[in-house]
Each structure stands twice: as structure tokens, then as C-alpha cells.
Structure 1
Amino acid sequence: MSNDPFALFADWLAAAWESEPNDANAMALATVSPAGQPSVRVVLLKAWDEAGFVFYTNLDSHKGNDIAANPLVGLDFHWKSRGRQVRIEGRAEPVSAAEADAYFATRPRDSQLGAWASDQSRPMAARATFDDRFAAASARFDGGDVPRPPRWSGFRVVPSAIEFWEARDFRHHDRTRYMRSDGGWAASLLFP
């Protein structure tokens, strides 16, 4: 059994890109509100390395507010076509402004403009409200680059535990859990 969960994650993610019909980088993100209410939604993994797993959002969104109050989060990749799942527990830490700027610059222009137009997760009276705000952002940045909005950035989930789950017949699944230990990783098998 390897003590490198990142090498195994790289292999599993590469296999998922070959077989998943859409968004092999989709992961469920679990947060907890200040009142203790758990919330789960799907976000897209945009970068990863041994420092952690990165996603982007509006910092004033539901998830952004939850993370500001409690940075301990969970991630889950479920690749149904492969019969595999990766669960990650860790701490969400803000990415640097330079990292957020660099990623934002790679987004399609309409996605950039949408970040300016949206008060993500807040109530909206009518769809026309967003459409009007999108049109205003389009006019504002007409012909020029679209800068990253001040309240739009990313988080890096620094893992403390990573579990790899693989389906087997009769629910005799393979489970390997990696726990951060003294700067390295310790692996152990779990009962199905």
C-alpha cells in the first residue's frame, strides 16, 4: 500500500476523465453554517497538488459565508461509471489574489461577466434582474478585459484525511484511508 494519496488521486482522476460523460472534476462540497446546519453542493475542482484541492466562488455566497465561519469542510468525488469515490476532509484556506486573478483570466468572458452580475445565493425577484445586470456588466467592460470582482476568489482545501473507496461485489468494497501524520501520510485499510 502506497503512502502517497496524491499519486493515487492522479491515477483515479485521469481514469475518470476517460469514462465520465461530464465534469470528472465535479465534487460535492460540504460546509456547516454558524448555526450548525450542514449544506452540500457540487463545485468544480480547478486545480490541485500536494498543497490541496482548489475551487472558486463568490465569497458572499452561502458556501463562502459558511467557510468564513467554519473552515473545516468535506469534499467528495463520485465517479459512478468507475465505481469509485474519493472523500476528503480538511481546512479551506483562501487562495492568493494572484492565483485567483490568474484563474479568473482563463474563464470564458460570459462567465467573467456573470461573476459581476450575480449576488450568488441571494434571493432574486425575477430572472430579468440578473439579465439586466449582465447587460450592464457587458456594457461596462465593453472591449476591455474583465477584472476579477473583489468578492470573487477561491479556496484551497488542505486535506487532513483522504479516503479512496472502490466498489466490489456484494458490497465488499475496498476502502483505504490516508491520514496526515508528521508531515507525511499514514495509510490504513477500512472495513467495507
Structure 2
Amino acid sequence: MSIGTGTAPLLTMSLVSLSNINTKHQQFYQQLYQNPQVMQHIGSPLTDAAAERSFKLLLSRSRLSAELITQMIIFKSRVIGLTQAKLKDNCWFLGIMLLPEYHGQGLAGIAHEKMITQLEQSIAYLKNRHIMVAECRANNRAANRLYCHLGFKLTDTKTENNKTTNRWEKI
């Protein structure tokens, strides 16, 4: 997907599925999940061992199921984040993580739009029209703006352990 004016795109991004994963991606995954800035709206950063276990679990689940789609976000030949869609209770839960230096550039929106398009064309999605769900912390302004921009509707707000989460849905 490209953004730009006329015929010259200003920004081009691609997504790499987990079937094409290599050691570079594992190192990136671990770096992402250990970064306090990235994890600030998700949870505590993972230790080296926990991040490695998480990556291996993700690989095994992704390869065995059409109900979990994880893709690395590539921008200018560099892995800069990941996006994920997971089917649970007839809803596709969407998530995205970007390195801090790529925040505020519209890249999360582009990556999510690509993921949504791929999801809408997938067999697992087409079997039944599922709801797409995104949950983010209420104080994560960028994520809330993103889901509003992508056409999601705010359907619920809940507070648990002193953390307020917004639930966005798109049918």
C-alpha cells in the first residue's frame, strides 16, 4: 500500500507473514517486546527468556492455525513492527506494535488497513462474517484515533486493575 500524491508514492510498506520468518525477525520480536516505550500501553516488558518463549509459541500457533495471523511490518527494507489478527469468540482481535521512532507517521494505519484487507479476503473470515475488534488503553490517544479513522466504533469501556480499556468494533 502506498500513500502519496500523483503517481509517485511517498511511502511504501509491506507485510511479511510468519511463514517467511528468520533469525532477524526473532531478534526484532524480542527487542519489541522488551522495549518499555512499546509496552507502555500493553503490559510489562518481557525478559529475554520470556520474549524468546513467546516468539516460539507464536510461531507454533501461527503455523498450525488459520485463526492467528501475525505479520512483520517492513518499511524501507527494515522491520519496524508487527500486526496481528486472532480469532476468538467469533471476533477477530487486531493488534499492532511499532518501534517508537515510527510513531506518528501514519504507518500503523497503513499496516492495519493492509491487515484488514487481507483478513477480509481470507477463508477463515469469509466462512462467517466476523466482527473485527481492537482494544487499547483509554489513554493511548494514538491508538484510539487510529481505530476511529479506520471506521471502528467505540462499543465499550472497562476498567480493570486501575487500567481503562476501550473496545472498538467493525463489522
Q: Could you state the TM-score of these two structures normalised by the residue count of structure 1?
A: 0.25
Q: Could you state the TM-score of these two structures normalised by the residue count of structure 2?
A: 0.27
- Mark the structure with the bigger radius of gyration: 1
Pick the structure with more helix per residue.
Answer: 2
